[in-house]
Amino acid sequence: MFKPLDPLLHSQLRLAIMSLLLGLEEAEFTFLKEKTESTAGNLSVQLDKLEKAGYITIQKSFRDKRPLTTCQITPKGIQAFEEYVENLKNYLP
């Protein structure tokens, strides 16, 4: 039967972010922005939603006196992503 899909991951941009982070130890904001082809503002809003849900962690630091934002998927985020993919399979013929 059809299982509910996590509405947080059902967004195209948030799903793309999670997919990228799943295969990486961590990723910089600029890398995610480039790979998802999103605006800085939209990416920032979506990262904030994922962080509030506990799916990712965000570290802010500096490199060469410039701000550096680094994101990492959490165990909770990995589990949510895997469940989303499994539940999505129920919708496919």
**Per-domain residue ranges of the chain:** 12-89
- Are the beta carbons of 17 and 32 closer than 8 angstroms? yes
Q: Which fold has domain 12-89?
A: Arc Repressor Mutant, subunit A (1.10.10)
| pLDDT at 93 exceeding the cut of 90 | no
Place of tokens 């991951």: 9
Res. 1: pLDDT tops 80? no
pTM passes above 0.75:
yes
SS3 54: coil
Distance from the first to the final alpha carbon of the chain: 12
Q: Specify the pLDDT at position 2.
A: 86
Count the neighbouring beta carbons within 10 Å of the beta carbon of residue 24: 13
Q: How far is CA 54 from the centre of its chain?
A: 11
pLDDT at 82 over 80: yes
Q: For 14-67, how does the pLDDT look when each residue is reduced to its tens digit (9 = 90+)?
A: 999 999 999 999 999 999 999 999 999 999 999 999 999 999 999 999 999 999
